[in-house]
Amino acid sequence: MDSSVFISALLLAAGKGERMGEVKQLLSLGEKRMIEAALDNLQGSRCDEIIVVLGFAVDEVRPLVEGKERVMVVINPQFKEGMSTSIQQGLKEISPRAKGILIALADQPFIPPEVINALIEGFQGGAKGIVLPVYEGKRGHPVILDRKKYEAELFELQGDVGGKEIVGKHPEDVLEVEVASKGVVIDIDAPEDYQGVL
Protein backbone atom coordinates (compact mmCIF):
# COMPACT_ATOMS: atom_id res chain seq x y z
CA MET A 1 0.00 0.00 0.00
CA ASP A 2 1.23 3.47 -0.87
CA SER A 3 1.38 5.23 2.46
CA SER A 4 2.52 8.46 0.81
CA VAL A 5 -1.01 9.49 -0.19
CA PHE A 6 -1.60 12.59 1.93
CA ILE A 7 -5.18 12.93 3.20
CA SER A 8 -6.58 16.26 4.37
CA ALA A 9 -9.80 16.06 6.38
CA LEU A 10 -12.28 18.92 6.47
CA LEU A 11 -14.46 18.70 9.57
CA LEU A 12 -17.46 20.91 8.86
CA ALA A 13 -18.72 22.42 12.10
CA ALA A 14 -19.85 25.91 11.11
CA GLY A 15 -23.60 25.47 10.77
CA LYS A 16 -26.26 26.87 13.03
CA GLY A 17 -28.25 23.64 13.25
CA GLU A 18 -31.62 25.43 13.18
CA ARG A 19 -33.69 22.30 13.82
CA MET A 20 -31.83 21.43 17.01
CA GLY A 21 -32.72 24.68 18.76
CA GLU A 22 -29.34 24.84 20.53
CA VAL A 23 -25.66 24.77 19.58
CA LYS A 24 -25.42 21.32 18.04
CA GLN A 25 -21.63 21.12 18.19
CA LEU A 26 -21.76 21.47 21.98
CA LEU A 27 -24.29 18.72 22.70
CA SER A 28 -23.02 16.22 25.29
CA LEU A 29 -22.30 12.64 24.29
CA GLY A 30 -21.13 10.95 27.46
CA GLU A 31 -18.07 12.84 28.67
CA LYS A 32 -17.47 14.59 25.35
CA ARG A 33 -19.22 17.21 23.29
CA MET A 34 -20.37 16.21 19.82
CA ILE A 35 -17.62 18.12 18.04
CA GLU A 36 -14.97 16.55 20.27
CA ALA A 37 -16.23 13.05 19.48
CA ALA A 38 -16.16 13.74 15.73
CA LEU A 39 -12.68 15.25 15.95
CA ASP A 40 -11.31 12.43 18.12
CA ASN A 41 -12.38 9.91 15.48
CA LEU A 42 -10.46 11.80 12.80
CA GLN A 43 -7.42 12.19 15.06
CA GLY A 44 -7.45 8.45 15.71
CA SER A 45 -7.38 7.79 11.97
CA ARG A 46 -4.63 8.03 9.37
CA CYS A 47 -5.65 11.50 8.19
CA ASP A 48 -2.53 13.62 7.80
CA GLU A 49 -4.16 16.92 8.71
CA ILE A 50 -7.57 17.97 10.00
CA ILE A 51 -9.05 21.35 9.21
CA VAL A 52 -11.97 22.21 11.48
CA VAL A 53 -14.25 24.81 9.90
CA LEU A 54 -16.18 26.86 12.45
CA GLY A 55 -18.75 29.63 12.09
CA PHE A 56 -21.78 29.70 14.36
CA ALA A 57 -21.02 30.08 18.11
CA VAL A 58 -17.32 30.16 17.32
CA ASP A 59 -16.30 31.52 20.72
CA GLU A 60 -17.86 28.56 22.51
CA VAL A 61 -16.80 25.85 20.07
CA ARG A 62 -13.24 26.93 19.32
CA PRO A 63 -11.72 26.11 22.75
CA LEU A 64 -12.81 22.48 22.32
CA VAL A 65 -10.82 21.96 19.12
CA GLU A 66 -7.93 24.40 19.13
CA GLY A 67 -4.34 23.43 19.83
CA LYS A 68 -4.75 19.71 19.11
CA GLU A 69 -2.29 17.65 17.16
CA ARG A 70 -2.63 17.84 13.33
CA VAL A 71 -5.58 20.23 13.74
CA MET A 72 -6.01 23.65 12.18
CA VAL A 73 -9.05 25.81 12.98
CA VAL A 74 -10.53 27.93 10.19
CA ILE A 75 -13.39 30.41 10.57
CA ASN A 76 -16.02 30.67 7.83
CA PRO A 77 -17.58 34.15 7.96
CA GLN A 78 -20.08 33.12 5.25
CA PHE A 79 -21.40 30.07 7.13
CA LYS A 80 -25.01 31.29 6.83
CA GLU A 81 -24.75 30.77 3.06
CA GLY A 82 -24.47 27.01 3.47
CA MET A 83 -22.15 24.05 3.64
CA SER A 84 -20.45 24.79 0.32
CA THR A 85 -18.88 27.94 1.81
CA SER A 86 -17.38 25.92 4.66
CA ILE A 87 -15.87 23.38 2.27
CA GLN A 88 -14.35 26.21 0.22
CA GLN A 89 -13.00 28.00 3.29
CA GLY A 90 -11.32 24.78 4.42
CA LEU A 91 -9.94 24.01 0.95
CA LYS A 92 -8.05 27.30 0.93
CA GLU A 93 -5.98 26.05 3.88
CA ILE A 94 -5.19 22.46 2.95
CA SER A 95 -1.63 21.33 2.44
CA PRO A 96 -0.22 21.46 -1.10
CA ARG A 97 0.72 17.80 -0.50
CA ALA A 98 -2.93 16.72 -0.14
CA LYS A 99 -4.01 14.09 -2.67
CA GLY A 100 -7.34 13.22 -1.05
CA ILE A 101 -9.91 15.51 0.57
CA LEU A 102 -12.01 13.81 3.24
CA ILE A 103 -15.23 15.68 4.04
CA ALA A 104 -16.60 14.90 7.50
CA LEU A 105 -19.54 16.39 9.38
CA ALA A 106 -19.48 17.43 13.03
CA ASP A 107 -23.00 16.05 13.52
CA GLN A 108 -21.82 12.52 12.70
CA PRO A 109 -19.82 11.63 15.83
CA PHE A 110 -20.15 7.84 15.64
CA ILE A 111 -17.74 7.03 12.81
CA PRO A 112 -14.83 5.10 14.33
CA PRO A 113 -11.24 5.60 13.15
CA GLU A 114 -11.13 2.11 11.61
CA VAL A 115 -13.97 3.04 9.25
CA ILE A 116 -12.14 6.22 8.21
CA ASN A 117 -8.98 4.16 7.68
CA ALA A 118 -10.87 1.66 5.51
CA LEU A 119 -11.97 4.54 3.28
CA ILE A 120 -8.40 5.86 3.11
CA GLU A 121 -7.17 2.40 2.10
CA GLY A 122 -9.81 2.26 -0.61
CA PHE A 123 -8.70 5.64 -1.88
CA GLN A 124 -5.02 4.67 -1.79
CA GLY A 125 -5.85 1.71 -4.00
CA GLY A 126 -6.26 4.34 -6.69
CA ALA A 127 -9.10 2.68 -8.59
CA LYS A 128 -11.61 5.50 -8.11
CA GLY A 129 -11.57 9.23 -7.38
CA ILE A 130 -14.50 9.18 -4.95
CA VAL A 131 -14.67 6.82 -1.96
CA LEU A 132 -17.57 6.53 0.46
CA PRO A 133 -18.92 4.08 3.04
CA VAL A 134 -22.01 1.91 2.64
CA TYR A 135 -23.90 0.45 5.58
CA GLU A 136 -26.56 -2.16 4.84
CA GLY A 137 -26.98 -0.83 1.31
CA LYS A 138 -27.18 2.84 2.32
CA ARG A 139 -24.49 5.33 1.40
CA GLY A 140 -23.08 7.46 4.21
CA HIS A 141 -20.29 9.80 5.27
CA PRO A 142 -17.49 10.72 5.24
CA VAL A 143 -16.54 10.91 1.58
CA ILE A 144 -13.02 11.16 0.14
CA LEU A 145 -12.52 13.05 -3.12
CA ASP A 146 -9.45 13.07 -5.34
CA ARG A 147 -8.10 16.60 -5.06
CA LYS A 148 -6.74 16.82 -8.59
CA LYS A 149 -10.01 15.67 -10.14
CA TYR A 150 -12.55 17.44 -7.95
CA GLU A 151 -11.07 20.49 -6.23
CA ALA A 152 -12.31 22.82 -8.97
CA GLU A 153 -15.84 21.39 -8.71
CA LEU A 154 -15.81 21.84 -4.93
CA PHE A 155 -14.98 25.51 -5.43
CA GLU A 156 -17.97 25.82 -7.79
CA LEU A 157 -20.52 24.50 -5.27
CA GLN A 158 -23.10 27.00 -4.07
CA GLY A 159 -25.55 27.03 -1.17
CA ASP A 160 -26.15 24.28 1.34
CA VAL A 161 -24.63 21.40 -0.61
CA GLY A 162 -21.55 19.28 -0.02
CA GLY A 163 -19.70 16.36 -1.56
CA LYS A 164 -22.95 14.54 -2.34
CA GLU A 165 -23.52 16.91 -5.25
CA ILE A 166 -20.26 15.78 -6.87
CA VAL A 167 -20.85 12.12 -6.05
CA GLY A 168 -24.13 12.30 -7.97
CA LYS A 169 -22.43 13.72 -11.05
CA HIS A 170 -19.72 11.06 -11.30
CA PRO A 171 -21.28 7.64 -10.57
CA GLU A 172 -18.63 5.89 -12.65
CA ASP A 173 -15.84 7.16 -10.38
CA VAL A 174 -17.33 6.03 -7.03
CA LEU A 175 -15.88 3.26 -4.88
CA GLU A 176 -18.29 2.00 -2.22
CA VAL A 177 -16.66 0.52 0.88
CA GLU A 178 -18.91 -1.82 2.87
CA VAL A 179 -18.68 -1.06 6.59
CA ALA A 180 -20.26 -2.56 9.69
CA SER A 181 -20.63 0.77 11.48
CA LYS A 182 -24.11 2.31 11.52
CA GLY A 183 -22.49 5.63 12.47
CA VAL A 184 -21.85 6.44 8.80
CA VAL A 185 -25.60 6.90 8.26
CA ILE A 186 -26.55 8.57 11.58
CA ASP A 187 -27.10 12.33 11.34
CA ILE A 188 -27.97 14.31 14.45
CA ASP A 189 -30.08 17.13 13.04
CA ALA A 190 -33.08 17.43 15.33
CA PRO A 191 -33.84 16.91 19.05
CA GLU A 192 -35.39 13.49 18.35
CA ASP A 193 -32.18 12.36 16.59
CA TYR A 194 -30.18 13.40 19.64
CA GLN A 195 -32.51 11.63 22.06
CA GLY A 196 -32.28 8.53 19.90
CA VAL A 197 -28.52 8.21 20.36
CA LEU A 198 -28.31 8.94 24.09
> In the chain, pLDDT over 70 holds for what percent of residues?
95
Instruction: Supply the range of the domain harboring residue 111.
Output: 6-197
The structure's pTM equals 0.93
Domain count, the chain: 1
Classify residue 1: in a domain, yes or no: no
Classify residue 121: in a domain, yes or no: yes
Classify residue 51: in a domain, yes or no: yes
- The answer to whether the CB of 24 falls within 8 A of the CB of 17 is yes
Rounded to an integer, the average pLDDT of 97-123 is 95
Provide the residue type at 43 as one letter: Q
Question: Mind listing the pLDDT tens digit for each residue in 161-185?
Answer: 788 889 999 999 999 999 999 999 9
Classify residue 22: in a domain, yes or no: yes
Classify residue 151: in a domain, yes or no: yes
- Compare 88 and 198 and report the one with higher pLDDT: 88
Q: What is the pLDDT of residue 2?
A: 46
Classify residue 177: in a domain, yes or no: yes
Classify residue 130: in a domain, yes or no: yes
- The answer to whether the CB of 117 falls within 8 A of the CB of 41 is no
**How far apart are the C-alpha atoms of 173 and 150, rounded to whole Å?**
11
At 93, which CATH number?
3.90.550.10
Question: Mind listing the pLDDT tens digit for each residue in 10-46?
Answer: 999 998 766 676 788 888 888 899 999 999 999 999 9
Classify residue 175: in a domain, yes or no: yes
Provide φ and ψ at 138, rounded to 5°.
Answer: -110, 130
